[in-house]
Amino acid sequence: MDPKKLFIRTYGCQMNVYDSERMAEAMGGQGYVETDTPDDADMILLNTCHIREKAAEKVYSELGRLKDLKAANPDLKIGVAGCVAQAEGEEIMKRQPMVDLVVGPQTYHRLPDMVKSVSEGTKVVDTDFPLEDKFEVLKNRPKARRAPTAFLTVQEGCDKFCAFCVVPYTRGAEVSRPAERILREARELVERGVREITLLGQNVNAYHGEGTNGATWSLARLIWALNDIDGLERIRFTTSHPNDMSDDLIAAHGECEKLMPYLHLPVQSGSDRILKRMNRSHTAEDYLRLIKRIRAARPDILISGDFIVGFPEETDADFEDTMSLIRDVGYGQAFSFKYSTRPGTPAAERPLVDDAVASERLQRLQSLINEQARSVMEDMVGREIGVLFEKKGRMEGQMVGKSDYLHAVHVTAEGIAAGDLRRVRITGAGPNSLAGALV
Ligand code: SAH
Ligand code: SF4
Ligand code: F3S
């Protein structure tokens, strides 16, 4: 019998990317192989994101588009996974009756059983927060050769309850995986060709998992253990919260050779009044002091961030405080969003900022960030840095990789293979990437 074809479309954060990979592997055990188009699929899974209204609405428009496929092939099964599945559950089937399966982020280890029910014609909705560890149920990962970089989820969920955010509701309470399991998975990835691992968690630096010696390990302790794995060349982690930036983690940025000089540390706003209303439990000054300490440990570190503009009741003065914080920090990169009301969150009840005002603020903030990112890229020119090559570029003989600072770098030279980590002198900065030559 021909294998069945599975198409997964992934929205949202890196954690969803990792989850999609694990779901595809789980379905592999049921005789499914992945395909890169929905057109000939036997099963389509949308792994969804609920973080902003637009992200969530995308799911329904995508489901609308899939209607024709379902009409042409009544055997086609359609599933909705991820954070919209968790947030809306059965509502999804009410709005789109052609959906066969709704599965939240914490129960997809049950997918094989769910798919069996679905193929027998029974619809399934599973949005539990079960006690068992889905990754342990799915522990036998396929042995295939892999790309040089991989994600590895070490912590999930969030207990911080920022007033605007759905994550504590869609992903549940904060849970850390035991270190032994993470190290085992990391070693397996390295055996399959992975050279760089990005540790993932909604609050990854709050990691406090059971260590191999029975004690509780911090993220820094886990990073030091990963640092000992031969063949693993680079370690990254994302996303961090300012309040969980512990001393040992800051020190690791100065001392741990494989830990890359890049830190995504969202602050959301530079106004203390707004930070308070966001329930961030730190001030702008706390954040700036923290950045100073991190830079004292690792002067060349590239700082990245997230910002929300137009949070309820944000005034011009509040916004100017954010702009001033950005000028103080000097970001290498940042993501910024217009505030989006999320049902069920505390901020959803509050008066909105005029949309045109919010849009204008977003534009100003983004042009400041772009300016900073540009100048950080230009400062790379002339420097010699590490590049991990990932794939062929568009030009003949060209390879593309990522620098230590996570910039894309193009190099034209013979004898570079995907997975090679080489020293490169940066020769130019384009709009989205750097150019360089092997040293
Ligand atoms: N755990 C991470 C963030 C996860 S969500 C942290 O604490 O930083 C990723 C980003 O989406 C957030 O940093 C925030 O900037 C943005 N975001 C979250 N909820 C939002 C909302 N309701 N409206 C607009 N942006 C939002
Ligand atoms: Fe959301 Fe705040 Fe938790 Fe980040 S720390 S996931 S923004 S609630
Ligand atoms: Fe989106 Fe869920 Fe990630 S809401 S950002 S996919 S944790």
Residues 367 and 388 both lie in one domain: no
- The pLDDT tens digits of the residues spanning 117-155 come to 999 999 999 999 988 889 888 888 888 888 999 999 999
pLDDT computed for residue 158 by the predictor:
96
- The pLDDT tens digits of the residues spanning 151-179 come to 999 999 999 999 999 999 999 999 999 99
- Is the beta carbon of 241 within 6 A of some atom in ligand 1? yes
Pocket-forming residues, ligand 2, beta carbon under 6 Å: 158, 160-162, 165, 167-168, 202-203, 241
Report the C-alpha gap between 234 and 419 in whole angstroms: 11
Residues 367 and 238 both lie in one domain: yes
Report the C-alpha gap between 303 and 323 in whole angstroms: 16
Among residues 118, 137, 63, the alpha carbon closest in space to that of 96 is found at 63
pLDDT computed for residue 133 by the predictor:
87
Given a contact cutoff of 8 angstroms between Cβ atoms, the answer to whether 100 and 77 are in contact is yes
Report the C-alpha gap between 157 and 175 in whole angstroms: 6
Q: What is the DSSP letter of 428?
A: E
pLDDT over 80 at 1, yes or no:
no
pLDDT computed for residue 131 by the predictor:
83
Give the Cβ contact number of residue 346 at 10 Å: 16
Looking at 98, 126, 154, the residue that finishes a domain is 126
Residues 35 and 141 both lie in one domain: no
- Is the beta carbon of 15 within 6 A of some atom in ligand 3? yes
Q: CATH number of the domain at 395, please.
A: 2.40.50.140
pLDDT computed for residue 144 by the predictor:
86
- Is the beta carbon of 26 within 6 A of some atom in ligand 1? no
Residues 321 and 398 both lie in one domain: no
Among residues 314, 288, 336, the alpha carbon closest in space to that of 163 is found at 314
Q: CATH number of the domain at 33, please.
A: 3.40.50.12160
CB-neighbour burial class of residue 49 (10 A; exposed 0-12, middle 13-18, buried 19+): buried
Rounded distance from Cα 270 to ligand 2 centre (Å)? 16
- Is the beta carbon of 16 within 6 A of some atom in ligand 3? yes
Cβ neighbours for 368, distance < 8 A, ≥ 6 positions apart: 323, 326, 327
Q: Which residue has the tokens 């570029």?
A: 393
The closest residue, in CA terms, to atom 18 on ligand 1 is 165
SS3 assignment for 5-51: EEEEEECCCHHHHHHHHHHHHHHHCCCEEECCCHHHCCEEEEEECCC
Looking at 126, 158, 181, the residue that finishes a domain is 126
pLDDT computed for residue 435 by the predictor:
98
Given a contact cutoff of 8 angstroms between Cβ atoms, the answer to whether 114 and 124 are in contact is yes
Burial of 110-133, coded b for 16+ CB within 10 Å and e otherwise, reads bbbebbeebeeeeebbbbeeeeeb
- Is the beta carbon of 306 within 6 A of some atom in ligand 1? yes
Q: Which strands form 333-338's sheet, in the order they lie side by side?
A: 262-264, 302-309, 333-338
Q: CATH number of the domain at 188, please.
A: 3.80.30.20
- Look at the chain and report how many structural domains it folds into: 3
Tell me the mean pLDDT in the region 321-347: 97
Cβ neighbours for 172, distance < 8 A, ≥ 6 positions apart: 106, 129, 156, 157
Residues 45 and 32 both lie in one domain: yes
Report the C-alpha gap between 87 and 142 in whole angstroms: 31
Residues 146 and 236 both lie in one domain: yes
Render 247-308 in DSSP notation, one character per residue: HHHHHHHHH-TTB-SEEE---B-S-HHHHHHTT----HHHHHHHHHHHHHH-TTPEEEEEEE
Q: Is 74 helix (H, G, I), strand (E, B) or coil?
A: coil
Tell me the mean pLDDT in the region 5-10: 97
Average pLDDT, whole number, for the chain? 96
Residues 25 and 142 both lie in one domain: no
Residues 13 and 77 both lie in one domain: yes
- The pLDDT tens digits of the residues spanning 255-294 come to 999 999 999 999 999 999 999 999 999 999 999 999 999 9
Rounded distance from Cα 236 to ligand 3 centre (Å)? 19
Tell me the mean pLDDT in the region 41-67: 94
Binding site annotation covers 256? no
How many percent of the chain have pLDDT more than 70? 100
CB-neighbour burial class of residue 160 (10 A; exposed 0-12, middle 13-18, buried 19+): middle
Render 357-374 in DSSP notation, one character per residue: HHHHHHHHHHHHHHHHHH
Pocket test for ligand 3, best of 9, 13, 342 (most atoms within 8 A of CB): 13
Q: What is the signed CA dihedral for 140, 104, 153, 133, rounded to 10 degrees?
A: -50
Burial of 274-290, coded b for 16+ CB within 10 Å and e otherwise, reads bbebbebebebebbeeb
Looking at 101, 126, 151, the residue that finishes a domain is 126
Q: What is the pTM of this model?
A: 0.96
The closest residue, in CA terms, to atom 5 on ligand 2 is 160
Residues 261 and 315 both lie in one domain: yes
Residues 361 and 395 both lie in one domain: no
What residues make up the domain containing 31?
Answer: 4-126
Q: Is 211 helix (H, G, I), strand (E, B) or coil?
A: coil
Rounded alpha-carbon distances, angstroms, from residue 111 to 32, 167, 203, 205, 345: 12, 22, 26, 30, 29
- Is the beta carbon of 58 within 6 A of some atom in ligand 3? no
pLDDT over 90 at 87, yes or no:
yes
- Is the beta carbon of 167 within 6 A of some atom in ligand 3? yes
Residues 413 and 352 both lie in one domain: no
Residues 347 and 425 both lie in one domain: no
pLDDT over 90 at 216, yes or no:
yes
Q: Is 221 helix (H, G, I), strand (E, B) or coil?
A: helix
